[in-house]
Amino acid sequence: MLKYKRLPTKCKATLAPIVDTTIAHNFSGKQYDMTTDERKTLANEPITWTGDLSDDCTAKWAGLMLRAEWMDNEYWWWAVYDMQKYAATIDDSNNYTDKFIGGDMSRQKAECVARKYITEITMRQDKAKYLITDTFKITRSGTVLAGYITEGLVSIDDTIEFVALSSIFQRQIIGITGITKSQPDKVNTGLLIKCDNEAEIDDLRNWKPDNIVAIIYKTETSENNLTDTNTLPKAGRKWLKKLFGYE
């Protein structure tokens, strides 16, 4: 899904897709191998920006890449990527209605997002892995991720993190249903997740996951393990049964 930004007035006033050549050059479609402990250690180092601080600059820090670029009328665009997760976007200025005026403000916001993200992923308690094979929408309920729990146990109110549409999603699990299949040691499971809005629900419904591995981690409100409890709406359970070959 392309995101758009306005080119600087020194070029022309038109919309153009963001083509991040810096990431493409440094990343080359491969995933860096860095442990959580290594990222935690690197997070103690300062964030150092390189490039032209008055126009276009980047910073590499704890497995992340931060970017800030002047657009027009003092408006700056910024973004933070996780290079450990195929350069997926953690957050960027396109997600905010307010404009970021000045390079200092945009860089400070990017640094704040980066530090918060690294703190979260290095301090959290990972408890399960989940293979996403499909998605579907339940009217008036939300988006359901269909797939397999490959490791650990899942509970309502856990948070699931996955990469979709070139972005990192961290969403609360609000419903679970599990259907045992004839394959040994595998459970077919649907997870109803809480989305930000209807547009996100539709985007994820049209997303075609290719066995994406998601991480599930515990939150303060997580309940007891409920992988054997059907908490999805009836329509969701019926859809899952059809998907996995059960009538």
Q: Domains in the chain, please, with CATH?
A: 4-123 (no CATH), 126-243 (2.40.30.10)
Higher pLDDT, 49 or 179: 49
pLDDT of residue 176: 86
Write the pLDDT tens digit of every residue in 142-170: 788 988 888 888 889 999 999 999 999 99
For 94-107, what is the mean pLDDT?
A: 93
User: pTM for this structure?
Assistant: 0.76
105: buried, middle or exposed (CB in 10 Å: 19+, 13-18, 0-12)?
A: middle
Torsion of CA 60, 106, 112, 33, to 10 degrees: -20
d(CA 164, CA 19): 18
Element (H, E) at 5: strand 4-6
Higher pLDDT, 147 or 78: 78
Quote the mean pLDDT of the chain. Answer: 79
